[in-house]
A and B are shown apart, each in its own frame.
Chain A
Amino acid sequence: MLARLVLRAAPAALRALPPPVSVGVLHATRPLHTTQQSLAPVPPLPEKGGEVRHGLIPEEFFQFLYPKTGVTGPYMLGTGLLLYFLSKEIYVINHETAAAACILTVIVYGIKKFGPDVAAFADKLNEEKMATALAVKNEAMQALQKAIEDEKKEQWRVEGCGFLFDAKRNNIAMLLETNYRERLLMVYNEVKKRLDYQVAMQNLKRQKEQDHMIQWVEKNVVQSITPQQQKESIAKCILDLKALSKSAHAAV
Chain B
Amino acid sequence: LPAAVLLKDTKLMDVKLGQLGSWLAMRDFTPGGILGAMRRGYDRYYNKYINVRKGGLGGISMVLAGYVVLSYIWSYSHVKHDRRRKYH
Name A's B-contacting residues (CB within 8 A): 45-52, 55-56, 58, 87-94, 96, 111, 115, 119, 123, 126
* A94 x B82 contact (CB < 8 A): yes
Taking a contact as CB atoms under 8 Å apart, the answer to whether B62 and A47 are in contact is no
Q: List 23 A-B contacts (CB under 8 A).
A: A46-B52, A46-B53, A48-B52, A49-B49, A49-B50, A49-B52, A49-B55, A50-B49, A51-B58, A52-B57, A52-B59, A52-B61, A55-B61, A56-B58, A58-B62, A89-B84, A92-B82, A92-B83, A94-B79, A94-B82, A96-B79, A111-B57, A126-B53
The one of B54, B61, B62 that contacts A123, using a Cβ cutoff of 8 Å = B54
- Taking CB atoms, residues of chain B closer than 8 Å to A51 are 58
Q: Kindly list chain B residues whose C-beta atoms are within 8 Å of the C-beta of A111.
A: 57
In the assembled complex, the CB of A129 is this many whole angstroms from the nearest CB of chain B, namely: 11
The reply to whether A49 and B88 form a contact with Cβ atoms under 8 Å apart is no
Q: Is B27 an interface residue (CB 8 A)?
A: no
B18-62 vs A, CB cutoff 8 Å, 1 = contact: the mask equals 000000000000000000000000000000111111111111011
Bin the interface of chain B by size: 20 to 34
Query: Which 4 pairs, one residue from A and one from B, show the smallest C-beta to C-beta distance?
Result: A52-B58, A94-B82, A49-B52, A49-B49
CB distance from A102 to the nearest CB of B (A): 15
CB distance from A65 to the nearest CB of B (A): 14
Shortest distance in angstroms between B1's beta carbon and chain A's nearest beta carbon?
27
Please name all residues of chain B whose beta carbon is closer than 8 Å to the beta carbon of A91 when the two chains form the complex.
72
Beyond contacts A50-B58, A92-B80, A92-B82: 5 other A-B pairs, Cβ-Cβ < 8 A, are: A45-B52, A47-B53, A49-B58, A52-B56, A56-B62
